[in-house]
Structure 1
Amino acid sequence: MDVLSAAERVGFTKRDQTRFEGLEVGTDPQLPENAEELLAYCGVHPADRHAMLAARPDPDRDPEWWAITWALAGEVERDLDLALPSTGFRGWPAVPRSASPVGLFAPAWALLANLPRLRELHAQRGVPESVTAATVAALGGVMHTHRHIFGCAGVGLMPLWGPPLRFRGADYEIGRHDFTRTHMGLGDGVSGHVLSIHIPPTGRLDAQESEESVATAVESFERWYPEEPLAGLVCHSWLLDPQLGEYLRPESNIMRFQTRFDILPHLPPEDPTEGDRELMRLGLHLDVPDHQLTDEDLDNLPQDTTLQRAFVKHLRAGGHWYPRTGMLKTWS
């Protein structure tokens, strides 16, 4: 079965079906025999390990999800060790809410199938085992977040951007941040190699830990990828929205993080609610409804933290939140 037919049959939207265009199912795909060992290496909780092993796709029983799993796995293998182009990366779409347990774990199987290749690549590049383990532990983190938000095991109900990049060698977790190898593109083409800084939801954004993470990354990538001399470091995140300064103290970790960047001019998105959903999902770790947020939705949101209260107050005032892009001022 071809992957586009499979995506349509399991209920992906027309838009999400386009994400599978150009992907092919391998001729003889094989799931790893040591899957439980690999899942433990990825920091997956025993309960989620058990659930995933019970949802192992089968080509005869689950032909659609089998095709989707191996199309995604093939993409990761195809792009192994490649940096992101300046045009970026379109993440894997969330699976339909009606998906079976096999469907909820299909993207995870696609990632796990490539873990042995990734470990070989990291060893060849001189990446320490500790960095490899921290990088692929994103899989366990996503499963934890998925269970917290949706109340069920899996990874599929969340759009996946970072994990596919980690399992192809484009993204590495080093200390407090993870860093994506990518290109900076200007009007006349690619102008240099950059690292894109991300902030995993693993706790406080401590300023010293952040600075140490960046310094270690710069030194490490110079050794691991000498053919990619750095032209700068960039961050695109809701954390860089200057509007947060209207609600947070200047000495807060978020605002201190913002001051380290030159924030680029804002280009309004076609959908002004896009940033609201991103902050709700990534910053507040809440399930985002399919519809535009209503007053009733806002009434039901927790109001325990300053950020939670700021999120609701800003939307009630008619505003929106926007992810912004910034260039790190000092990094070498």
Structure 2
Amino acid sequence: MDTAELLDWADIQASDRAETGSLLAAEPGPQVQAALRVLRRRWMEIGAPPPAPGIDELAWLHALLRFIPEQLEGYRGRGVPEAVARATLADIGRHVAISRTTNGHFGLETWKWLTEQASGTLFQLGRLHFHLIPGPAGIPGLRAGEKVLGMHIPETGPLRPGLVQESLARAVQFFGECFPEHPVRFGHCHSWLLDPYLARQLPSDSNIVAFANRFTRFGELFDAPGDAVYFTFRTRDMTKLAGLPRESRLQQVVLERIGAGGSWQAAQGYLDLPGVSSP
């Protein structure tokens, strides 16, 4: 697979193509080779711990791109449709663009997330990402060793309830066909969007409120002020909050709570997947 094909599969945006192409033009050095070994070792390993730090983010990007042919071969072995493969791999280009927005230069700050995307157990199915993971303790009725679908929200537009419902239905069908050895009954989300405070502050007809209300929360809340700022404004600089925009109600709520001395928290929740009944 040549460079142009790799860039197309990864959906690298025009503003990032020259630098990404230059990256691929170089021979893979020791760090890239080490990253490739990690990706191969983690393939189809459900619940693998995240890779340890020590490899440069651009080496991770180089490795992720070079891993695409192997990833596609693995997908074909599972019967993953090409459209799903393309939507999933497009997350590489999306995160390269996000990294430029966040830091002001070419890079891949979120390389750790993309190692999950490259594990063969995470897919974009419509509006949402679904990740086959070990079921966390605390979900009622969950059996020992049972897997669930971790749910994540890519930056691809409004979180409309109809799109979420369609995505859930697609996930049930997809994993039933491509991973029949791992029947799943529950979806799971761990996010600051499930912080109960958010639902109390946003309008009741908010897409975010509708999404959060799908879940039954369980477990403890954990402080995550940086998550709210990063995912709302794409910045990690907590020293310049006063200069951030307050155009949407979400932006206002995020900044007002921090300004008042509060802290955003992350919560866990589960939901029953549509059309799946308990044995």
TM-score scaled to structure 1, two decimals? 0.76
Pick from 268, 274, 288 the counterpart of residue 236 of structure 2: 288
In the TM superposition, what is the alpha-carbon distance from 1:56 to its structure 2 partner? 4.3
Question: CA offsets, 1:189-248, max 9 Å, x none?
Answer: 943011101111111001000011011111110110111111311011111111102320
User: Of 11, 30, 35, which aligns to 1:67?
Assistant: 30
Does structure 1 conserve the Cα–Cα contact (< 8 Å) formed by 2:47 and 2:134?
A: yes
Per the alignment, residue 147 of structure 2 pairs with 193
* Counterparts of 2:266 and 2:51, CA distance in 1: 17
2:4 is aligned, of 36, 51, 54, to 36
Which range moves more in the overlay, 186-195 or 112-121?
Answer: 186-195
Q: State the match for 1:169 in structure 2.
A: 120
Deviations 1:130-185 (A, max 9, x none): 00000000011011112222222221xx2334311222201100000011111114
Change (3 A) 1:121 1:56: closer
Pick closer, same or farther for the CA change 1:57–1:220 going to 2, 3 Å.
same
Question: What is the aligned partner in structure 2 of residue 133 from structure 1?
Answer: 86
- Where 2:93 maps in the other structure, the secondary structure is helix
Which SS does the other structure have where 1:326 is aligned? Answer: strand
Unpaired runs of 5+ in structure 1? 1-32, 60-64, 96-102
Q: Select the residue among 34, 45, 51 that pairs with 1:82.
A: 45
RMSD: 2.4
Instruction: Pick closer, same or farther for the CA change 1:330–1:58 going to 2, 3 Å.
Output: closer
2-side partners of 1:94 and 1:259: how far apart?
Answer: 39
Q: 1: distance between equivalents of 2:203 and 2:53?
A: 36
> Matches of 1:235 and 1:183 in 2, distance apart?
13
Q: Counterpart in 1 of 2:96?
A: 143
Corresponding residue number in structure 1 for 2:172: 218
Q: Work out which of the residue numbers 184, 203, 210 in structure 1 matches 2:157.
A: 203
- Alignment identity in percent? 29
Question: Structure 2: how far apart are the matches of 1:94 and 1:315?
Answer: 33
Letter in 1 for 2:16: D
Matched with 2:129 is 178
Question: Against the structure 1 CA distance between its residues 310 and 198, is the aligned structure 2 distance closer, same or farther, given a 3 Å change threshold?
Answer: same
AA aligned opposite 1:152: H
Question: SS state of the match for residue 312, structure 1?
Answer: helix
Mean CA deviation greater in 167-176 or 50-59: 50-59
Checking the alignment, whether the CA contact within 8 Å between 1:298 and 1:312 is kept in structure 2 is: yes
TM-score (structure 2 length as normaliser): 0.89
Structure 1 67/94 Cα, relative in aligned 2: closer, same or farther at 3 Å?
Answer: closer
Take 1:38 and 1:58, find their aligned partners in 2: how far apart are those partners? Answer: 14
- Indicate yes or no: 2:201 matched with 1:258: no
- Unmatched 5+ residue regions in structure 2? none
Partners of 2:231 and 2:112 lie apart in 1 by 12
CA distance in 2, matches of 1:208, 1:326: 20
User: Judging changes above 3 Å, is the alpha-carbon distance between structure 1 residues 148 and 220 closer, same or farther for their aligned structure 2 residues?
Assistant: same
Instruction: Give the drift of 1:91.
Output: 5.9
Equivalent position SS for 1:178:
strand
How has the CA–CA distance of structure 1 residues 168 and 307 changed in structure 2, closer, same or farther, with 3 Å as cutoff? same
The one-letter amino acid of 2:21's match is L
Q: Per-residue displacement from partner, 1:288-313 (whole Å, max 9, x unpaired)?
A: 13xxx34xx22112111111111111
Is the 8 Å Cα contact of residues 192 and 231 (structure 1) preserved in structure 2? no
Alignment-derived partner of residue 328 in structure 1: 271
Question: Do the aligned partners of 1:260 and 1:330 also contact (CA within 8 Å) in 2?
Answer: no
Supply the distance in 1 between the matched residues of 2:25 and 2:5 (Cα, whole angstroms). Answer: 18
Residue equivalent to 1:113: 66
Aligned partner of 2:201 in structure 1 is: 247
| Amino acid corresponding to residue 79 of structure 1 in structure 2 | R
Equivalents in 2 of 1:52, 1:72: separation in Å?
A: 17
Q: What do residues 41-82 of structure 1 show as CA deviations (whole Å, max 9, x unaligned)?
A: 2111233121122234857xxxxx933222222111112122
Please name the residue that 2:228 is paired with: 279
